[in-house]
Every structure is written in C-alpha cells, then in structure tokens.
Structure 1
C-alpha cells in the first residue's frame, strides 16, 4: 500500500479512493481493514447500533476484487453506513427504539442500489428515535457527540451518520431528512448534507415521515452527494409522493452562473440565538457567495420561520402520530420521554385542524414561489447555533425546536437544500450554511454548494479542524 495514504487519517472521499484503487496504491480489502482499525481506535462512541463484523465486510471486498467488471462500478469498494431506520438484509432495524427492533428479510431498494453499485455497508448507525429530532440525544443506544468536542451534540436525527463521516470512519452515510436530519449533523461535523426536493427519490423502509421526508446522504464533498443522488433519483409509481419529474433527473457540480441573486434573512429575522460567532461565520459565507457572483437581497424570514414551527408545534405532528400509532398506542414506554411526549401531541388534533393547517401551509408555499421569482436561492445558517449535551438534556424539546429554526420548513414547502460547512468558531466548533432552492431547483443548489465549499478552502470533517490556542 502507498504510505502516502495514511491508514489512520487518509481521506475517504469517493474520488480519492477511486484514484487510489485505480493506481493500485490501495485495495478495497486493505481499506476495509483500515476502516475497522479506525472504528476500534475510537472505542465506544455510540455511532454504531449494529456493526457488521470485519470479516464479513472484508469478504464483500474480496468478492468485488475477484470480479474484473466490478472495478467499473461507481461505488467499487466504497464503505458506507446506514441509518437504523433503513433496512439492510440480515441486520436488525430499530430506529433507535430497542423494543421495536425487527429483522428485515430484504435490504431497502436504496441500500440494495448502493450495494449493487459496489458499495460496502459497514453497519447500522445511531439516530434520534423514529427520526424525530435534530439533536442526536433521543436514543436507546447512547449519545454520540460532535467530532470536535465531546461536550457538544452531534446533531440529528442522523447522529451516527454525521459522526462517522466527519470522523473518517466511512465515505458516506445513508440518511433521511424531514426536519433537518441530514443537514444538522452535516453542519456540526463539518461535512455536506444535500437534501433533494421531496419526491425525487423513493422513500426507503422505516423512514415514515410521510410526505415531508426524503432520503439523502451525508458526504465529505458535494461531488460525492451528487454522484450518490444521481444513482438514486427515480420515479416510483408505488410511492404516492414520488414526482414524475424524478425520472431522468440529474444534478451536477458544474460552475455556477456568472451572476445570481440570493435572499438572506434581514437583521430582524436572523436568529443565531445570541451566538455572535455563528453570525460571523454566516456573514463570511455570504461574502464568499458574493465573490462567486451572487447578489444578496435581505428579506423578512418571518413567514418561513412560522411555517417551520408548524412541523411539530401544530397539527402536522398528527402525521407522525398516524405513522406510528399502531405501535405507539399501549406501548408508549418503549420511547424515551421527549419522543413519547412529542408523538402523543398528535392525538389531540382533529381532521379539521389538519385541513386548516394544510391551507395555511399552502399559503406559505405560494409565498415562497413568489420569492423564487425574484431570487435563485435562499441562504440561511443551517442552525442558529449549537449546544452542549448537558444543556440539551436539560431543555430537550425547546432546544431541539431552536436547532430546527431554519431546517424545519424546507420539506414542508417542497424545497431542496444543502448544508455546506461555514468554518469554525474560535472554540473549534463547526457550523454550517444552508442553501435552499425552489422546488426541483436542485441543480443550482448543488452547483453553488460545490463552489462555496471550494471557496471555504478547509478539509471536510476532522481533517479541517484548526489548531486553536488553548484558553489561558
């Protein structure tokens, strides 16, 4: 093996690994060994709910290596993790609820697509229970922490996925995102989280957020997100929320237009929860976008922030309750207290309440359609700030809602979005910037996202951590 690729810290982005494989400097078998060594070195970090044993993964790698045609597969030898509400044949699915675990008889179509493309699954990963939360602490399997500071939350609900990609344990993680589950962990672990327009990818397995959820990937680069998403865009007639436009849909990392307009929150509606460093990082990314040819336009975000609150603080929570009521009713104690409390709220809403909420949301969708006649993108912080685990546990529901300030409305309004690294606060904690496009405007989100990530000029995940002087 080429000693230039470090077994403990070498980059795992797909382009790097494919180049190493092509040159013969690394083999999938050797890579898998290195991956398991890294996982062992981290110890019990609560990333994995079910870790596939090393020899099984190495056997998958050797099977690929024995097939000359496999080398042409787009994910040849690439290791990945899977959120535990997405099925992998022969490995339990729990959605982080121990009492609700079951053994799937087949992999979800998404996971099977990745395996057929040459990917090697490493295991099932921790999450907020049932995908309800964007903080990563609502789980029966221990609390993962931010890769940069063990005191801080990892973000959720795809908590294990965010940490595993940020820590260099896998090349990408299968996620799903209803309220920010694939964007918040990306922001807090210095990686990329692109969430397609709802309906462009079929929904997988236990992801039961209904019409507001979409599968996605946590990746080290926008290029990886584009490659993976292009493998999975498809129209699925059996999925009632699948869009016909998904057939043949593609995104790219082509250079963005020479000029574009983007909206940002005005001073009155920019919420960073008093975190001046968050505000600074957001301003710096706005300036980078302007350098790339963008023109910023300040807007009042109040309508969209109001829509965001409706996801959990209103009749839309009845959708989550409807998804899980058959297992939840009479078995409430299987869930951790915040998940149990939030899901129980769904019982109190009538059909009248739900229809009224839908009419209100339709009005917000119309408003944002009008916005996107004047601008190409809406740009916000991914999260206002972040919190220490102990802070979060002391005020779980309120701080979770705060973390979803900007992410919660995106799926409700039928929009694509991507969280792009924003850099680091002076204490070494990472945050993100979110690019939001009009419905089906995914390509521009990805193109501008790739250019913005390149302009920041820091390596993804742990590799980008700056060396800060210790406080005196």
Structure 2
C-alpha cells in the first residue's frame, strides 16, 4: 500500500472513502493519531492519551465487521473524561475522584457498536464546572490556533483533539454551554441534542437534570452521523426520553436578537463585526426573519448560576468535596460550595422552578416552528486574563449559552468567520426540543449561504450523481447501495422511509438465481428473501443509494426476522440489502415462483 498523507482535518466521509479504496487502514490512522498526540503533549489535551495497547482490541475487532454495515467502522473519536470508557479511569479532572468503570457509558457503547474506536480521555474543567478550559489540575488546555488564548470549556480537550486532527469527532458534555463554546473558539460544529435524546448513563453528573452529551466535529454531516448512532431511549437511564429523529426541515421563521448585543474581551470589536456579517448572511438566506427581544433568555440563564440550580451540583459532588479536603481545584471548589448556601432552601428551589416554567412557556410560544440565531460567545480571553478574573470571565463566556438546557432547547454551534486572524467566530441556532430537524436544516443553509438555490443545486447534483451510480454500479463517497425487495420499493408504504433517509432510487435489478422468497405472516404482510445453497430463483429488486449517515439508524429499525446482509445480484456483485433469517420460512408462504413482491401484490 502506497503512503497516503493524512490531512489535519479528519472527516468520517474521507476516511471511509480511503478505507473502501484500500488506500488506508485503521491501523495507519491510529499510528498517525499517536504521532500527533505525542507531538502536542504540552497542549494538555489528554488526561489518558491514546495508547496502542489499549486500542489494539478495537482494531482487532474491526477485522470481524463488514465496513459497509457499520457506519462508523474505523472512525477514531475522543471522549471527555467525565464519560466512562470501560477499563480506562474516569477522573472528571480530579485524581482523588478517579474510578475505573467495567462498562462503557451508553453513548460510548453505541458508538463502539457502530464500529468507532475510542481513543482516550480528554482534559476538562474539573467536574465540568466552567466554560474556559483552565480549571484542571492536569494543566490548562491550550487553544489549538492561538496557545495564549483559552480553549473554552468545560469540554476543552475534546474540542482541541478534533481541531488538531487527533480525532474525527469527540464527545463532550453540555450543561450551560460546554459543548458549544469550545466549538466556537476552534471553528468546529458543536451539536447539542435535546435533553434526554442521547442517554447520559455512565456520565459523571454536573447538574443531572440539565446534562447533555454532545459532539464536536468538522462538519454537520459528521455530527449527525454520530447522532444517528447514539440517539434513542436507554432503559436503564432515568433521564432518557423518546424524541423524533432530526429530519431536516427549514423553519417557518428565523429569529434574530433585536438591538445591539454586548461583546467583551480583547477582541470585542472583531466579534461585533463578525456578528454583523453573520446577521447579513442570515438575512440573505431567503427565510422569513423576525427580530425579537431576548431578555427572556438572559433571565432564564441567571437562574442557573445565580439561583438554586447550583445546589444540584453540590448535591452530586458535595459529599466528595467535604470528605476530600484540598482535592478539588480551588476555583472549582469555591463555585461548588455556593450550592451549599443557606439561601438555597427548598422554598427557593420551588420558586425558581415556577419562574422557570413560565419562561419555558414564553420560549415555546416564541420558538414555535422557528429557530433563534445568536452568537455562541460574545468574545474570548487570554489564559492570563482568566487567571486574574476566573469567575467574571467564565460568566461572560456563558452569556449566550446558559439558558439553553434550562428552557429545554436543542442547539447547534457552527463556524461563522473570524473575529481576527486565527480567532474563529461562531453562531448558535436554537429550537424547541422536538424540533432538532429545524436547527439541522437552518445550519446547513447558513453554512451554504442559501436556503434555496444552493440547496436546489445540491439536490440536482445528487440526482446527477445517482445517474452516475446507475451507470457505474458504484455508490458515491459517503453513501451505500441498498437492495430492497418489498415494502420499501417505489409505490409501497415504506418508500417514504427511504426518502426520509435521503435515499435515491438507482435502478431495478434481479438477484442471482439463488433466493427463496417467502410471504411473512405479519401485519401488514411483507416478503423475506432467503439465500439457498440450491434450488433458488432470481428475485426482482430495486437498488437505492443511501447516505451513510442514515444507514445505521435505518438498519437498526428493521424488525426480525429481517435484516441487512449482502445480497448477490445477477451479475455476481454483492450489495447491502434486505435478507431474511432462514427459520422464518417454516411459518411463511413460499412465493418464490412469483418472481418478486410487486408481482404478488399485483396479482392480489
């Protein structure tokens, strides 16, 4: 295999393309990650850095998995060190707190099940308390672009690992902005799903009722690829809840803050100018734009650190702090101890809950079928400045983020230019919890610079590419062919599932003459295609092309005895497609002689 230079910006689509072409192996990618990690050791990115001996079992396992059936096959990712990885210490940036879990956190387990490789554990503001990235006894995480600046927190190491090309994506957590602020400071996408959409089982709590696991990536596609792998209720997680998949849909309205916003820090004017440019871009998207008052969000944010929710942090961590004097980072302990204040009695908690409930109602009315666009941060600071005023600087960094989880909103932080050279600026799109598809589509439009023409052009390009796939038999990068033989074919009830997944019809085809077709006794009836060693027939199929970001969740939703395996076509090639377990034939009607499900239904 010829040497292939691995770019600093790593994406899942690029890696999968190179894997598929056999131009790269996961082992060679891990070797490069280890090299980069060692070179950046002084940046304090990792608490438990990548090591070949711990990664070898994950690499060996990949040999047993079909890359086409595992959407994250061979994709390396970093894990914030308040999220469990089996056999690796979880420290939450406090050595005295550390423990070694026997099992993965639920999100890590789902990513590994999809073929991804957990590299190691990243640095963070201790106990996920902070938005600056300087509150760790393992050292201040350096900004990936300008080391004198803060990296943002608390998910500091996770963002920097992605920005420095040491991971394709990284898991963070977000209680008050920790999954968004570091993204903005490094020109990354930061996807914060709705509360409960991703399980938090196996995550050290900051505020358990407000905590989210999040992802940092270079692209929206990679962020959504991760979302598809980890989304869904977990039976053992009391905070988990059922929420719809974030299917892209443009919002009816795009909301912008009315009046001047406040900016801070040494680059305040650059941030102000970058926000002005972002507003102009938003106005050019062709969406209905409304300017709205945003005092509601500031009032909700004040409840988090200036109200009794700080007591929730103390409820989780106070016992440890009291029993381990001196173990906590000084500024972290100071903040945590505010939660033990006598003013935060039970009555104050209920008063705050009632006030917050009215804010939620107001937010729900305002954001109905709408997306709100705001700066992710109003500035940034040097690490020296944060040491001088750790609490004030941290408060500023959360000015436009703290309200999000309190109001039960979803959010995505995306790049939006620079405040000055090597100083990225970013914006965040917010929507109601059940409207994650709105922020996904709005973010896509914002990044493309258009909600109309360019999306149409992209759609035309996809149709053209589908035509190419039809003629060459090869899927485009980032997609897979899928052979369907029943209710997912055109004109049948589940065709809509294919379209919702972004799939494109390629061609009609026949299987190799090796299959038995049975009519399963289900409601509604559906076919099952079983490969036989002898005596089978050619079955009519349709071949579609589906984005890999959709393929994992699509496959996961297929009920037994059906599943996705390799289907052999009449020309001898194999593509992923619907197959049926052989045991199902015992209770099913043999309809092989019909030649295909379409002929069965036509006859009926």
- TM-score normalized by the length of structure 2: 0.71
Alpha-carbon shift at residue 237 of structure 1 (Å): 4.2
Q: Secondary structure at the match of 2:305?
A: coil
Partner of 1:250 in structure 2?
245
Could you tell which deviates more after superposition, 316-325 or 232-241?
232-241
Deviation sequence 1:118-156 (CA, Å, 0-9, x none): 111110000011111111111110011211101000001
Partner of 1:384 in structure 2?
378
Between Structure 1 and Structure 2, the one with more strand by share is 2
Partner of 1:353 in structure 2?
348
Contact 1:162 / 1:185 at 8 angstroms: preserved in 2?
A: yes
Alpha-carbon shift at residue 322 of structure 1 (Å): 0.9
Partner of 2:402 in structure 1?
408
Q: Secondary structure at the match of 1:284?
A: helix
Contact 1:33 / 1:58 at 8 angstroms: preserved in 2?
A: no
> Is residue 336 from structure 1 mapped to residue 329 from structure 2 by the alignment?
yes
> Is residue 318 from structure 1 mapped to residue 316 from structure 2 by the alignment?
no
Q: Provide the C-alpha distance between the structure 1 equivalents of 2:122 and 2:449, rounded to a whole number of angstroms.
A: 31
CA RMSD of aligned residues (A): 1.9
Task: Between the two structures, name the one with larger relative contact order (CA 8 Å, sep ≥ 6).
Answer: 1
Partner of 2:438 in structure 1?
444
Partner of 1:6 in structure 2?
5
Alpha-carbon shift at residue 358 of structure 1 (Å): 0.7
Partner of 2:600 in structure 1?
none
Partner of 2:393 in structure 1?
399
Alignment of 1:23-422 (within 5 A): 23-64=21-62, 66-67=63-64, 69-208=66-205, 209-243=207-241, 245-246=242-243, 249-252=244-247, 254=248, 257=250, 260-268=252-260, 270-273=261-264, 275-348=268-341, 349-373=344-368, 376-422=370-416
Q: Provide the C-alpha distance between the structure 1 equivalents of 2:159 and 2:119, rounded to a whole number of angstroms.
A: 14
Q: Provide the C-alpha distance between the structure 1 equivalents of 2:57 and 2:392, rounded to a whole number of angstroms.
A: 46
Structure 1 residues 360, 455: CA separation in 2 closer, same or farther (over 3 Å shift)? same
Q: Secondary structure at the match of 1:311?
A: helix
Structure 1 residues 356, 265: CA separation in 2 closer, same or farther (over 3 Å shift)? same
Could you tell which deviates more after superposition, 66-75 or 81-90?
66-75
Alpha-carbon shift at residue 206 of structure 1 (Å): 3.1
Alpha-carbon shift at residue 350 of structure 1 (Å): 0.3
Contact 1:93 / 1:101 at 8 angstroms: preserved in 2?
A: yes
Contact 1:32 / 1:61 at 8 angstroms: preserved in 2?
A: no
Partner of 2:580 in structure 1?
none
Q: Provide the C-alpha distance between the structure 1 equivalents of 2:140 and 2:55, rounded to a whole number of angstroms.
A: 25
Structure 1 residues 90, 295: CA separation in 2 closer, same or farther (over 3 Å shift)? same
Alpha-carbon shift at residue 70 of structure 1 (Å): 4.4
Partner of 2:479 in structure 1?
none
Contact 2:201 / 2:237 at 8 angstroms: preserved in 1?
A: no
How many residues matched?
446
Q: Provide the C-alpha distance between the structure 2 equivalents of 1:310 and 1:186, rounded to a whole number of angstroms.
A: 24
Q: Secondary structure at the match of 1:435?
A: strand
Q: Secondary structure at the match of 1:312?
A: helix
Alpha-carbon shift at residue 287 of structure 1 (Å): 2.3
Alpha-carbon shift at residue 357 of structure 1 (Å): 0.7
Q: Provide the C-alpha distance between the structure 2 equivalents of 1:327 and 1:206, rounded to a whole number of angstroms.
A: 16
Q: Provide the C-alpha distance between the structure 1 equivalents of 2:298 and 2:161, rounded to a whole number of angstroms.
A: 30
Alpha-carbon shift at residue 211 of structure 1 (Å): 1.1
Unaligned ranges ≥5, structure 2:
455-604
Q: Provide the C-alpha distance between the structure 2 equivalents of 1:338 and 1:24, rounded to a whole number of angstroms.
A: 50
Deviation sequence 1:244-300 (CA, Å, 0-9, x none): x33xx3224x4x53x7422122224x1222712112222222222232222332222
Q: Provide the C-alpha distance between the structure 2 equivalents of 1:192 and 1:215, rounded to a whole number of angstroms.
A: 14
Contact 2:9 / 2:163 at 8 angstroms: preserved in 1?
A: no
Partner of 2:505 in structure 1?
none
Q: Provide the C-alpha distance between the structure 2 equivalents of 1:177 and 1:120, rounded to a whole number of angstroms.
A: 22
Contact 1:29 / 1:62 at 8 angstroms: preserved in 2?
A: no
Alpha-carbon shift at residue 426 of structure 1 (Å): 2.2
Contact 1:28 / 1:62 at 8 angstroms: preserved in 2?
A: no
Q: Provide the C-alpha distance between the structure 2 equivalents of 1:345 and 1:292, rounded to a whole number of angstroms.
A: 45
Contact 2:37 / 2:50 at 8 angstroms: preserved in 1?
A: no
Could you tell which deviates more after superposition, 344-353 or 48-57?
48-57
Contact 2:8 / 2:164 at 8 angstroms: preserved in 1?
A: no
